[in-house]
């Protein structure tokens, strides 16, 4: 096991990684921007080092500064968390070139499957069904030509993307150029890569994903499924595990995810995302080559620590978990508490948190870096906490989540908690009729 690692991220995921490392006896160095100097991960870190100004490009996306920080502090490995450089194959390769272990997939894994466009070709090779889609599109003309072959509606996606950034649904040829340019600019700002590709857009699917882990030598274990259908502008808002699927369909989707990961001898944590239509047909969408924001719901129903397993695999210890060890117990729901105003089109609400009280009690987990007096910076994602509720049944998990949200107090900024309470009270949600258009079709906001 490593003696010291650098955490190249911020917020709740930096704190989550720090806690996992501490339980394993690993010293953590938290890399932080000037805007995050007083964040909880920095305050709790064994060591902390400033890597640049508030802008992500000058700090959390600054490869040179991050590598220098790892080397000067004597770290043996870098954990990238999610977002930022977590799916950047060049960064993973540069870590290796500088004698640092990248706690994630090998660079070739990321290059091959982390790029959303090439991932489709890999899935096809592995015999995993995919929606009709393109190679990377060099310009609007190429996008127009391809859209005419598969028909509208289509969806544009950032090849290097994730988290809903750089995605646009296009309903007609008249809208394509505008959406293409907007998606490119969003992808360039978020990932430093404007590459786009296109897929046929399915009108009302479920978004189901499978958590996988590979040892890099062909052994792969899955941790069953999550439903992430409740999304706003392709950003997930609420996730749950397991999905509401027939057992046979769940088994077939999990088997496809494992087959895909084995096909490329995948190493570390990964998530295969699928769209499932009303007829029970499923199509591979993309693979995220990192730990996911929503990993806690999987941890709650399987009782395994996925971040610690990342450490073990990256350290060369192999998988400590066999497939027969993985079972699902009960149901878990996660809501993303964002500093946003849901009554005003989810407008960001940066500022000082004057008071905060997180919920507790049976079956409740809170992952948050926020404390009373903390100033939420305007430079990054608005996520300030994840509240996770576990129950023996889905109904019990919903009841616990409602109770937990009503216990929660966050003052000084607006949050999405009122929105989540409306979701939980929605009759369609309660009976499991959730699709990716749920918010647009079933909610008033």
Which domains, from first to last, does the chain contain? 4-103 (3.40.50.20), 132-200 (3.30.1490.20), 206-442 (3.30.470.20)
What span, in angstroms and rounded, lies between the C-alpha atoms of 275 and 256? 13
Name the percent of the chain lying above pLDDT 70.
99
* Number of Cβ atoms within 10 Å of the Cβ of 302: 21
Q: Which of 78-82, 187-191, 280-284, 385-389 has the lowest mean pLDDT?
A: 187-191
Token digits of residue 140: 């609007």
Return the pLDDT at 203: 83
Task: Flag whether pLDDT at 445 surpasses 60.
Answer: no
What span, in angstroms and rounded, lies between the C-alpha atoms of 165 and 321? 33
Please give the DSSP secondary-structure letter assigned to residue 223. E
DSSP 140-190: HHHHHHHHHHH-SSEEEEETT--TTTT-EEE-SHHHHHHHHHHHHHHHHHH
Name the percent of the chain lying above pLDDT 90.
89
Measuring CA to CA, how many Å separate 369 from each of 10, 23, 81, 326, 405?
A: 9, 18, 14, 30, 17
Structure confidence by residue, pLDDT tens digits, 122-138: 999 999 999 888 988 99
- Positions annotated as catalytic residues are 290
Return the pLDDT at 225: 98
Report the SS3 class of residue 65. Answer: helix
Q: For residue 291, give the nearest of 310, 304, 278, 263 by alpha carbon.
A: 310
Please state the pTM of the whole predicted model: 0.89
Contacts of 344 (CB under 8 A, 6+ apart): none
């Amino acid at each position: 096991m490593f003696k010291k690692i650098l955490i190249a991220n911020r917020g709740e995921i930096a704190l989550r990684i720090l806690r996992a490392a501490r339980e394993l006896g690993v010293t953590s160095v938290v890399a932080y921007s000037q805007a995050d100097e007083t964040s909880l991960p920095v305050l709790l870190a064994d060591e902390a080092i400033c890597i640049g100004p508030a802008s992500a490009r000058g700090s959390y996306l600054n490869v040179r500064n991050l590598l220098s920080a790892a080397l000067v502090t004597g770290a043996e490995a870098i954990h990238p968390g999610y977002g930022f450089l977590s799916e950047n194959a060049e960064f993973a390769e540069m870590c290796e070139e500088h004698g640092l272990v990248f706690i994630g997939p090998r660079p070739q894994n990321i290059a091959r499957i982390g790029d959303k466009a090439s991932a489709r070709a890999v899935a096809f090779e592995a015999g995993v069904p995919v929606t009709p889609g393109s190679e990377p599109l060099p310009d609007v003309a190429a996008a127009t030509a391809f859209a005419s072959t598969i028909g509208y509606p289509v969806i544009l996606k950032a090849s290097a993307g994730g988290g809903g950034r750089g995605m646009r649904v296009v309903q007609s040829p008249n809208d394509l150029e505008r959406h293409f340019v907007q998606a490119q600019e969003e992808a360039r700002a978020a990932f430093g890569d404007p590459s786009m590709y296109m897929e046929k857009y399915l009108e009302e699917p479920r978004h189901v994903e499978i958590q996988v882990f590979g040892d890099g030598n062909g052994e792969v274990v899955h941790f069953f499924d999550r439903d992430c259908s409740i999304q706003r502008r392709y950003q997930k808002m609420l996730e749950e595990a397991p999905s509401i699927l027939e057992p046979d369909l769940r088994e077939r989707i999990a088997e496809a995810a494992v087959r895909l990961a084995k096909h490329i001898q995948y190493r570390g944590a990964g998530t295969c995302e699928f769209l499932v239509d009303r007829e029970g047909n499923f199509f591979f969408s993309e693979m995220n080559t990192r730990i996911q924001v929503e990993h806690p719901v999987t941890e709650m129903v399987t009782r395994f620590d996925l971040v610690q397993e990342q450490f073990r695999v990256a350290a060369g210890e192999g998988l400590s978990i066999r497939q027969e060890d993985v079972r699902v117990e009960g149901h878990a729901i996660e809501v993303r508490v964002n500093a946003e105003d849901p009554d005003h089109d989810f407008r960001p609400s940066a500022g000082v948190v004057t008071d905060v009280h997180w919920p507790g009690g049976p079956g409740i987990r809170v992952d948050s870096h926020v404390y009373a007096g903390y100033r939420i910076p305007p430079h990054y994602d608005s996520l300030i906490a994840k509240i996770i509720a576990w129950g023996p049944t889905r109904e019990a998990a919903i009841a616990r989540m409602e109770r937990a949200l009503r216990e929660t107090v966050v003052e000084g900024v607006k949050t999405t908690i009122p929105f989540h309470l409306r979701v939980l009270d929605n009759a369609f949600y309660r009976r499991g009729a959730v699709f990716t258009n749920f918010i647009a079709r079933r909610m008033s906001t």
